[in-house]
A and B are shown apart, each in its own frame.
Chain A
Amino acid sequence: MTAVLSLRDYTLDYLTGSRPLRVLQDISLDIAPGEVLGLVGESGSGKSTLAWAIMRHLPKNARELSGTIRLGGTDLRSLPPRELTRIRGRRIGMVFQDPSTALNPTLTVGRQVTETLVNNRGLTRRAAWDLALELLGHVELRDPEALMRRYPHQISGGEKQRILIATAFGCRPELIVFDEPTTALDVITGARILDLFARLRAETGVAALYISHDLALVSRVADRVAVMKKGRLVEEAPAASIFARPAHEETRKLVAAVPRPENRLVHDRPGDRVLLAAEAVSVRYARPRLFRPPPPPATHAVGFDIKAGEILGIVGESGSGKSSIARALTGLADFSGGIRFDGRPIGSARDMDGAYRRAVQIVFQHPDGSLNPRQTVGEILSRPLKLFGTGQANLSAEIGRLLEQVRLPAAYATRWPHQLSGGEKQRVAIARAFAAKPSLVICDEITAPLDVSVQASIIELLLSLRAETGAAYLFITHDINLIRQIAHRIAVMRRGELVDLLPIDAVDADHVHPYTRDLMAASPTPVG
C-alpha cells in the first residue's frame, strides 16, 4: 500500500542575519492511509516547521536544500502556487493550536464553514449549508443552526476547535495536520476533543500527522510516534512501545521530564501558622452601569488559607476564576470580602502597603509579557531591590546573587529579554519575585507555555528556592499531574466557586466533589 504522505531526506534552512540556520535535517517519514503519526519534541526542534513545509506555507527566508515531499502520487515541491491552493484544504487539512485566532472574527461561523466546503467540495451554497449543519451536529455541538449564525467571539474555545475539526474532516482530505490542537484548551475540554478526534478518525479513516509536546496525549491518539531533536528525527516506533522502552536518549529525557503524581517531590509538612487567609473573596470586573445589570462576579465568595511554607495548588478549567484570585490577592482586581495577612486585615487594594507588597509576589504565565522588552535583565532585577531595601552600593553584587540563585550566569544582567529563551525569561521573572524576599509567591500557570523538560527544571528551581527561603506558594495550574507532585493541598475551582479544598492524599478519596473526580479522570495518565 502506498503511503499518503512520504518525505525523503528533506532538509531546510532559515536564512537569518549572518548565516543559514539548519531547521530540518534529512527528514524521512511515511504516513500510511488511515494512520496517525505523532510527532513530539521540545520547542525549537522543528515540529511546526515540518508541518508548514508539508502545507507548503514557508516564510520567505526558508531555503529547501534537498528532499521530496509526496502526497499520494503528487510531488508537492514541484507544484506551482495555483495548484497548491487546490491541494490545501481539499487534500491536506490543518487544525491549529489556537482556535481563537484560526477563525475570522468578522464573519459568522456558518459563513466560514460553508465557504470552505463550497471551495473544497464544489458544493452549492445551499448544499454546503446543509452539510455544515450535519457536520456540526456530528461533532456534538448543541443547536448547530443557531451556532452557525454566531460570530467567533460569541462561542467558547472548545466549540471553536470542534468547528475547525468538523470543517477539516468535512472536506474529506487524505491527510490532516494537527498542530497542538488541545494545548490552548483546558484539561476537560481537551479530553473531549481527543475523544471526538478518535471517533471521527475511526469513521473516516483519514491519515493524520499529530504534533504535540504532550507525550501522554500523543501515545493516546497516535499509531506511531516520531521524536524530533534539533531538526532531526531521532526515533520512530509504535506508540504502544516507544515511551515504555525509549531507545534514544532524547526520548528518555522527554519521558523522564513528564510529571507523575505518585512521584512526590515535596516531603515536608507546612507549619501551622496561617500566613494568608482569604475570606469570602469575590472579584467583579465590570463597573455597574446605569441601564445594564452587572455581570456575574468572576469569583464568588472564595475562602481559603495558606500556611507558612505551604504549597497550595489551585486547579480548574479556564474561566473558573483561578487567575482572578491571584489578581485579587495582588491588588490588580477590585474585590469584596477580606484578606488577612499575618493576622493583619486587608479590605481592599488600598490597604496593601509596602510590607504586604514585598511579602506577596507574583510570577505571571507568559514569560514574554512579564519582562519589559526595553529594560535589561539587570534593570528589571534592580527595581524590586531598590524598592524593598538593600542599599545602592551592592546593587550589582545583589543582582549577580539573584541570577545565580535562579541558575543563570551573572553576565546575563546586561542582556535584553529578547535574547533569552522562554525558560530563561521565566527564571528572570522568578528572580524578580524573590528579590523582594517574599513569604508568599503566587505562580499563575507559570509552566503552561513551557516544554516538559524546561517545566521540570523550573519546578526543581522553585522547590530549591522554597527550601532556601521558606516561601509559601500559591500554585495556579491546569496540569493535575504536576500539582499532585508538589502541592500540600489542592483547591478545585469551578465557575468562580471553590468546590473542594483537599489535602493531597485525599484527592482520590470517595467523598470528593463529582467535579473534582471528573477533573482527575480527564488528566492524562503519564506515559512510560
Chain B
Amino acid sequence: MTDLLRRLMRTPQGAIGLILLAVLAAVCLFGPWLAPHDPEKMDFLGRFRPLGAQNWFGADQFGRDVLSRLLVGARSTLPMALAATLLGTVAGAVVGTASAYLGGRWDEAIMRTIDAVMAVPGLLLALLLVSTLGNGAGNAMIAIAVTFAPGMARVTRAVALTVRGQDYVKSATVRGESASWIIFREMLPNVMAPVVIEATIRVSFAVMLFATLSFLGLGAQPPASEWGLMVAEARQYVHQAPWILIAPSLAIAMTAIAFNLLGDGLRDAMNPRDER
C-alpha cells in the first residue's frame, strides 16, 4: 500500500490528484470548523455582496457566506458520491466476474439483462429510481449506485474473461475448487486493478450526477448546502452575482478533475511492469 502511494506520487497526475484529494478530504473532515460563518445565517444587508474581505467568495441571495456553504456542503456531496461509486463498483465487479466465470447461458442471460438496463440513459434511470423511492440524499445515492453497476459489470466481465482463460483458474477448476472460491479468491483479485481505476474515474461522474439530481430537486433538499443544489439555486441570479454560481461549479469541477487525475495516476502505478 505504501509502495503504491510512493509510485503514485512519482507521476505528476498522481501527485496532483492526490494533493487535491487530500485538500478535499480535509474539507470534508474539518469543513464546519474551517468555515468563517454559519452557512445558514442570513444577512439581508449583505445580499449579493461581491468577493471581498467580509465574504471571501461573496454572499448569495440571502446574504449567506458562499465559502462557508461550500466548506460545509462538501460533507453532503463527496461522501455520498464515494459511497454511491463504491456500492455500484462492488456490485458490478461481483456480477461481472461471476458472469464471466459461469459463461454460456448464464453469461448470456446476465449480460443481456445488463444491456437492457444500460439502454436507459443513466440520468433517466436515476430519475426514475428516485421518483419511485422518493426524494432525498440517501435514495439518490442508491439510484446512482444502481446506475453505475451495469457499466462496472461490463468492464469487469471483459477483464475477467481474459483472467478466466489463465491457467491458474483452470488449475483451480481441475482441483475441484468451489465456484465462490474461484470467483472471489482466484479471479477478483486479478481484475481489481482496472476496476479500481474505472471506479476513481466514475467518482467524478457520481459527483456530477448527484449534483444534477440535486439541481433537479430530487437529491438534497434546501436549505442544504450540497454543491449541485447550490448551483441550481444560484442559476436565476447569474447576471446579478455570477460568483454564487461559479464557486460551487468550480468545486465540482475540481473534484472531478482530482479523481480523474488519480485514476490516470493509479493506472500507471498499478501496472507492475512499469518499473520506475
Contact = CB atoms under 8 A, between A and B. Distances in A.
Q: Is B one of A's binding partners?
A: yes
Interface of A: 16-17, 287, 330-332, 352, 354, 357, 361-362, 364-366, 369-375, 383-384, 387-388, 418, 429, 432, 436
A432 B190 CA distance: 20
Contacts, number: 55
Contacts of A369: 166-168
Interface in B143-190: 166-168, 170-177, 185-186, 189-190
Nearest to B173: A332
A384 B272 contact: no
A371 B166 CA distance: 9
B272 A418 contact: yes
B177 A364 contact: no
24 contacts: A16-B275, A17-B275, A330-B170, A330-B174, A357-B175, A357-B176, A362-B171, A364-B167, A365-B167, A366-B167, A369-B166, A369-B168, A370-B166, A372-B186, A373-B190, A374-B189, A374-B190, A375-B189, A384-B175, A387-B175, A387-B176, A388-B175, A418-B272, A429-B171
B177 A387 contact: yes
Given A364-B167, A369-B167, A373-B190, A383 B172 contact: yes
Contacts of B190: 372-374
Interface residues of B, number: 18
Given A373-B272, A388-B175, 14 more contacts: A17-B275, A330-B174, A357-B176, A362-B174, A364-B167, A365-B167, A370-B168, A372-B190, A375-B185, A383-B175, A387-B175, A418-B272, A429-B171, A432-B171
Nearest to A418: B272
B142 to A, nearest CB: 31
Contacts of A287: 104
A418 B190 CA distance: 14
Chain A contact residues: over half helix, strand or loop, or mixed? loop
Contacts of B174: 330-332, 357, 361-362
Given A372-B190, A374-B190, A436 B167 contact: no
Interface in B239-276: 272, 275
A372 B190 CA distance: 8
Contact of A436 (B168, B175, B189, B275): B175
Given A372-B186, A372-B190, A332 B170 contact: yes
A387 B167 CA distance: 19
A332 B168 CA distance: 13
Nearest to A360: B174
B171 A364 contact: yes
Nearest to A387: B175
Contacts of B167: 364-366, 369-370
A387 B185 CA distance: 15
Chain B contact residues: over half helix, strand or loop, or mixed? helix
Nearest to B188: A374
A433 to B, nearest CB: 9
Contact of A383 (B170, B177, B275): B177
Nearest to A373: B190
B171 to A, nearest CB: 6
Contacts of A374: 189-190
Given A357-B176, A362-B174, A371 B168 contact: yes
Contacts of B104: 287
A331 B174 CA distance: 7
B2 to A, nearest CB: 16
B171 A370 contact: yes
Nearest to B176: A357
A237 B190 CA distance: 48
A-B interface, 4 closest residue pairs, ranked by CB to CB distance from nearest: A370-B167, A374-B189, A364-B167, A369-B167
Contacts of A16: 275
B102 to A, nearest CB: 15
Contacts of A352: 176
Interface string B87-100: 00000000000000
Interface string B189-207: 1100000000000000000
Interface in B36-89: none
A353 to B, nearest CB: 8
A373 B191 CA distance: 11
B172 A354 contact: no
Chain A CB count within 10 A is highest, among B175, B189, B190, B275, for B175
Contacts of A388: 175
A418 B186 CA distance: 16
Contacts of A331: 173-174
A438 to B, nearest CB: 10
Contacts of B189: 372, 374-375
B106 to A, nearest CB: 13
Contact of A354 (B168, B170, B176, B272): B176
Contacts of B171: 362, 364, 370, 429, 432
A182 to B, nearest CB: 24
A354 B174 CA distance: 10
Contacts of B175: 357, 361, 383-384, 387-388, 436
A177 B175 CA distance: 44
Nearest to B171: A370
A352 B176 CA distance: 9
B177 to A, nearest CB: 7
A369 B166 CA distance: 6
Contacts of A330: 170, 174
A369 B167 CA distance: 5
B168 A372 contact: yes
A430 to B, nearest CB: 12
A436 B172 CA distance: 13
Contacts of B166: 369-370
Nearest to B178: A387
A434 to B, nearest CB: 12
Contacts of B172: 383
A18 to B, nearest CB: 11
Contacts of A357: 174-176
Nearest to A352: B176
Contacts of B275: 16-17
Chain B CB count within 10 A is highest, among A365, A369, A418, for A369
B161 to A, nearest CB: 15
B11 to A, nearest CB: 15
Contacts of A429: 171
Nearest to B192: A374
A178 B176 CA distance: 44
B58 to A, nearest CB: 49
Contacts of A17: 275
A429 B173 CA distance: 15
Nearest to A287: B104
A354 B168 CA distance: 19
Chain A CB count within 10 A is highest, among B172, B174, B189, for B174
Contacts of B173: 331-332
